[in-house]
Amino acid sequence: MSVEIRPATESDVESILEIVNHAILHTTANYNYEPQSFEVQMEWFRQKQAHHFPVIVAELDGQVVGFGAYSTFREKIGYQFTVEHSVYVSNGFIGKGIGKLLLAELIAFAKKQNLRIMIGAIDAENSDSIAFHEKFGFVKCGIIKDAAYKFDRWLDLQLMQLILK
């Protein structure tokens, strides 16, 4: 399996949207309830570009099977060196090392941008994602109890951080 990690283009937004909408409908990796529209996803992509934040994709045999991105953690100027990331892998491709490639690339990009902290906000029941992040050196730094409500239950949000310097 030869996976290529590359910068996303506008032509990848439809594939990214499919991955996001699957997560919205079937997982607690994304706390939205309703699938996003193409227009909303395109605006998300354009905003990342406008702020010089990366959006990368994992491509396998011409098919986008995952993506990663990061952006501002919080809007106040004091947070300018801290970003929050997301990594999503297509259903059927999880556990094949694709997420590892995406996160490694995001970390490298963040270091090149002289950022200091990368934050992961993970559903606290997602032990696989928490263990995945720990392999990269992320540490648990807080939990927000009952942070969200989805699938008829309250969900806790686990915050994890990686110091990049």
The residue extents of the domains of the chain are: 3-163
CATH code for the domain defined by 3-163:
3.40.630.30
The pLDDT value recorded for residue 78 is 96
The pLDDT value recorded for residue 165 is 82
How far apart CA 3 and CA 64 sit, in angstroms, is 10
Average pLDDT for consecutive 10-residue bins of the chain (165 residues)?
94 98 96 97 97 97 97 95 98 94 98 97 97 97 98 98 95
The pLDDT value recorded for residue 111 is 97
The pLDDT value recorded for residue 1 is 67
Nearest to 68 by CA among 82, 48, 50, 51: 48
- Give the model confidence (pLDDT) of 102-129 as tens digits: 999 999 999 999 999 999 999 999 999 9
Alpha-carbon distances, residue 63 vs 2, 15, 49, 94 (angstroms): 12, 8, 22, 15
> Cβ neighbours of residue 122 under 8 Å, at least 6 residues apart?
129, 130, 133, 157, 158, 159, 160
- Give the model confidence (pLDDT) of 19-39 as tens digits: 999 999 999 999 999 999 999
What is the DSSP track for 22-50?
HHHHH-SSS--SSPPPHHHHHHHHHHHHH
